[in-house]
Amino acid sequence: MWDSTMFLSTLTPKFYVALTGTSSLISGLILIFEWWYFRKYGTSFIEQISLNHISPWISGVDSSENGSSSNSTSSQSSVPECKVWRNPLNLYRGAEYQRFYWATNKEPLTYYDMNLSAQDHQTFFTCEADAGKSEYEIMQTAWRERNPMVRIKAAHSALEKSPECAPAYILLAEEEATTITEAEKILKQALKVAETNYRKSQALQHQGSLMEAQHRRDTNVLIYIKRRLAMCARRLGKLKEAVKMFRDLTKEVPPIMNVLNIHENLIEALLEMQAYADVQAVLAKYDDISLPKSATICYTAALLKARLVADKFSPDIASKRGLNTAEMAAVEAIHRAVEFNPHVPKYLLEMKPLILPPEHVLKRGDSEAIAYTFFHLAHWKAVDGALNLLHCTWEGTFRMLPYPLERGHLFYPYPTCTECADRELLPTFHEVSVYPKKELPFFIIFTAGLCSFTALLTLLTHQYPEPMGVVAKAVLNWLSTPVYYVYEKIESMLPANLLQQLSRI
């Protein structure tokens, strides 16, 4: 029989130092790798290996089936969902964002957000035909200037060279005007210039690619000015005028219309007028399976269905008798909306503070939730009981989606890239809403604990080698006692020659 006492007595303190140091190093490397894998893929490597390889082998599930299902999930998850869109309801920099800065001394817009706007303006308000035109060359660089006063000065310089430079008027309306009334006044001047330029380029658009590009640019400028004028009318309470202008714009077909999403402006203005039948007609056109969704589309559809039952809805009564057909339709619409963008309810229910919306939004992200709620919270409050129905039912969505990162119910699985994009779009003083919350897997916590424990043992063994050696021997003796006991029992029960044969093997 092996004598453990003799073996342990031969071990020196250096052995214990080396053993604990090696264990601490290995557990630390495992922890670093696990943390890196979790940050990159959102799950634990050891957990993935256990679920995908060890568990099917133990349970007898065909690995090819598991692989095919994971491939389908990964292909579904690979659908691009993190494209940044222009906010259809973006505010005016001078009349609204700048006034906020004066009042709070906080920057409401990030440089990343403003840089995206500069790219949009350069794309839609400049063209190849501007080469040699000093006023348009000035505007090409003006959008990129970081200092607002430099941008405004450049716009004035462009107008001095040519009073027919419509993009310069747009910049002044957006940034120099300190009230909506002033912005509207400048935009009306811009509209006259833009219409004149549009008619000129329209007559010459077939004379070559440069003239065609100029006409496309003049079309973009004209549509943008009309949209911002309609938004001024909405801000100043001229709702019928705003609705008429938005309706006229939705009939346009140039490529810029795919970026502006003017139907969302129309929906918001109609909700302010409480013209719910007209809102339903707009939704019937745009809430189509082949068209991209948005928080405005999904939550407005939920609001219209909730409006039919919200005033009489009682959670106690509903729990006793069950939901009727209309209530079920409203709850399903709320679940659909929450699955598309789970950040919105906390803002609508005022469980989280609201800030000014950014100029660009990420669909299904926190930025889109802020942009939607900023204008639509009043519409939900205008419907008696709608917020109560939302409060009672919205969390039920997450019971339908036990694994939101892996699969969806009505939409593609919720993207994991929204947090990074939202942090770029939203100001630093805002706490970004994150869904789903990434909880540390068990193996990362276990590895961190193991690394810390072995590191502590290494430090103690290095400082106090003799006492730690005594402790280690005591622990090994304690652990080996049950093994020796079982071995002695087996030896007494089995013949001696059998144990000899086994020992030879």
What are the CA-CA distances from residue 287 to residues 72, 110, 282 (Å)?
A: 27, 31, 8
Q: What is the pLDDT of residue 379?
A: 95
Task: Name the least confident of 90-94, 130-134, 441-445, 482-486.
Answer: 441-445
State whether residue 362 is helix, strand or coil: strand
Q: Which amino acid is present at 333?
A: A
Amino acid letter, residue 454: T
Model confidence band, residue 497 (pLDDT cutoffs 50, 70, 90): low
Q: Which has more confidence, 162 or 24?
A: 162
d(CA 255, CA 99): 33
The CATH code belonging to domain 110-274 is 1.25.40.10
The phi, psi pair for 342, rounded to 5°, reads -75, -5
Beta strands in 363-486 (DSSP E): none
422-453 pLDDT per residue, tens: 899 999 999 988 887 655 556 667 667 767 77
300 and 405 in contact (C-beta within 8 Å)? Answer: no
Distance CA 236, CA 286 (A): 27
Q: What would the 3-class secondary structure string for 17-65 be?
A: HHHHHHHHHHHHHHHHHHHHHHHHHCCCHHHHHHHHHHHHHHHCCCHHH
Q: Give the separation between CA 104 and CA 469, rounded to whole angstroms.
A: 64
Residue spans per domain, the chain: 110-274, 286-439, 442-496
| pLDDT(28) > 90 | no
User: Does residue 72 register a pLDDT over 60?
Assistant: no
Furthest CA-CA distance within the chain: 111
What is the Cα 213 distance to its own chain's centre? 35
Backbone angles phi, psi at 284, to 5 degrees: -60, -30
Query: How many CA atoms lie less than 13 Å away from 408 in the CB half-sphere?
Result: 19
Instruction: Report the DSSP beta bridge partners of residue 360.
Output: 86
pLDDT at 271 (0 to 100): 94
Confidence at residue 504, expressed as pLDDT on a 0 to 100 scale: 62
Identify the weakest region by mean pLDDT among 90-104, 324-338, 353-367, 397-411: 397-411
What are 295's two structure tokens? 């928080």
The answer to whether the beta carbons of residues 340 and 298 sit under 8 Å apart is: yes
Report pLDDT for 26: 79
* pLDDT at 76 (0 to 100): 36
CB 74 within 8 A of CB 484: no
DSSP secondary structure code for residue 174 in this structure: I
User: Residue 37: what pLDDT?
Assistant: 72
Least confident of 2-11, 257-266, 334-343: 2-11
Of 148, 141, 186, residue with least CA distance to 166 = 186
Identify the weakest region by mean pLDDT among 75-89, 92-106, 178-192, 333-347: 75-89
- Which of 16, 21, 13 has its CA nearest to residue 451? 21
Residue 324 has pLDDT above 50, yes or no: yes
Residue 86, strand partner residues = 360
Contact 88, 265 (CB under 8 A): yes
From 391, 382, 418, 352, select the one nearest 268 (Cα to Cα): 382
| Average pLDDT for the chain | 81
Helix crossing, 111-125 with 418-425: angle to 10°? 80
pLDDT tens, position by position, 275-304: 999 999 999 888 877 677 899 999 999 999
pTM > 0.75:
no
Return the sign of the alpha-carbon dihedral for residues 28, 33, 38, 40: positive
Provide the pLDDT for residue 413: 76
Segment (H or E) for 84 = strand 84-86
The pLDDT assigned to 488 comes to: 75
CA 269 to CA 246: how far, in whole Å?
9
CA–CA distance, 451 with 355 (Å, rounded to integer):
42
Backbone angles phi, psi at 237, to 5 degrees: 85, 5
Q: Judge contact between 405 and 414, C-beta under 8 A.
A: yes
Separation between Cα atoms, residue 293 and residue 291, nearest integer Å: 6
Collapsing DSSP states into helix, strand and coil, what is residue 86?
strand
pLDDT value at position 179? 93
Q: What distance lies between CA 130 and its chain's CA centroid?
A: 37
**DSSP assignment of 367-387:** HHHHHHHHHHHHHHHHSTTHH
| pLDDT tens per residue across span 177-234 | 999 999 999 999 999 999 999 998 888 878 888 888 889 999 999 999 999 999 999 9
pLDDT of residue 257: 79
* Measured distance CA(114)–CA(100) in Å, rounded: 16
SS3 content of the chain, % helix, strand, coil (to 5): 75, 0, 25
Which pLDDT value is given to residue 133? 86
Between 492 and 198, the higher pLDDT residue = 198
Which region, left, alpha or beta, applies to residue 489 given φ > 0 means left and ψ of -120 to 50 means alpha? alpha
Q: Give pairs for 45-51: CB < 8 Å, separation 24+.
A: 46/443, 47/441, 47/442, 47/443
